[in-house]
Amino acid sequence: MAKGMPAASVEYFAEDGIAFAPGAVNGKKYWAGRTDFPGTLIWQPIFAFAAGAADLGYTTGMWELKKENEPLSLGFGHYVTVWAKQPNGKWKIALDVGTENPQPPESSPGLQVLPPDITAGTQPQENARRSLQKAERQFTKAAHNNIGQAILDCATDDVRVYREKSFPAVGLVAARLMLTSEHGKVTFEPGNSKMSGSADLSYRYGNYSEDRGNAVERGIYLMIWRANMNGDWKLALNLQKKRPSAAKP
């Protein structure tokens, strides 16, 4: 980070990498124009997973924004970065998104690296794609009735759920507590997606709208799916980030 956040992002984003400002934009172009970045961004990875084919992976962790020569921080939060291996063998950022939360009560935990399941991703790509599409259709249908329950019904045991202004929920118990009050009806507008060559990891992002009865909330979403040993796709990460009220839907 000696170069600063904008310059480092321009260097490490893939040519088609996605950032959110607040909607999906080209990450390289976005950061190339961020000459007004207010300080120094410090981040610490706490979780990492890579597909069996070592062509796609994701990391999550904590971030802190500090202003030069000032003790107080400007903000805290968590980030999710999806990485894709390029034809030249280098890993580049395919997607990067973050949420804000209060100042953490304790320091960042150590890095947990989840190894790929060697029994997962053994089915042919086309079969895996059809299975994933089926899981996504079922999730989309269930989310239109109750988003919280839809997430819990298809989540991995170590699911991670991200919401703005809250600490992430990690694991089914924490996710259930976080999602207890989320009964809204969510409609998804899918954006792009990508699956690993080993057919055990996939991500999709896009826009969502949530009908809460007396109001409609709009924003962006990211969903990361992992296949288990039976070839079933489970939701490993769900992030929904409300657009600022001043932003156009």
* pLDDT above 60 (res 158): yes
Whether the pLDDT of residue 249 is over 70: the answer is no
Domain 125-242: state its class: alpha beta
Is the full-model pTM beyond 0.95? Answer: no
| pLDDT of 26 above 70 | yes
Reply yes or no: is the peptide bond before residue 22 cis, omega within 30 of 0.
yes
**Dihedral sign (CA 112, 52, 14, 92):** positive
Nearest-5° angle of CA 221, CA 82, CA 200?
Answer: 95
Mean pLDDT of the chain: 91
Mean pLDDT on 49-72: 91
Report residue 21's pLDDT band, with 50, 70 and 90 as the boundaries: very high
Strands 216-227 and 233-242 come out as antiparallel
Which is more confident, 244 or 137? 137
Mean pLDDT of 32-43: 84
pLDDT-derived band at 248, boundaries 50, 70, 90: very low
Q: What is the mean pLDDT of residues 217-236?
A: 95
Closest by alpha carbon to 223, among 198, 248, 241? 241
Q: Is the pLDDT of residue 56 over 90?
A: yes
Residue 77: CB atoms within 10 Å: 20
Averaged pLDDT, 132-147: 96
- pLDDT of 124 higher than 90: no
**246 pLDDT higher than 70:** no
Per-residue pLDDT averaged across 64-86, rounded? 91
Domain boundaries, the chain: 5-114, 125-242
Task: Note the pLDDT of residue 167.
Answer: 96
What are 60's strand-pairing partners? 47, 80
pLDDT at 114 over 80: yes
Residue type (1 letter), 3: K
Task: Indicate if the pLDDT at residue 45 is higher than 80.
Answer: yes
CATH number of 5-114: 3.10.450.50
| pLDDT greater than 80 at residue 213 | no
| Residues 201-216, mean pLDDT to the nearest whole number | 92
Fold agreement between 5-114 and 125-242: yes
Confidence of residue 2 (pLDDT cuts 50, 70, 90): very low
CA distance 66 to 74: 6
Write the single-letter amino acid at 106. E
pLDDT band at 1 (very low <50, low <70, confident <90, very high): very low
Average pLDDT over residues 84-104: 96
| Burial class for 211, CB neighbours closer than 10 Å (0-12, 13-18, 19+) | middle
Look at residue 65 and tell me whether its pLDDT is greater than 60: yes
Encoding tokens for residue 147?
């988003």
What local confidence, expressed as pLDDT, does residue 3 receive? 57
From CA 126, how far away is CA 29, in angstroms rounded?
Answer: 34
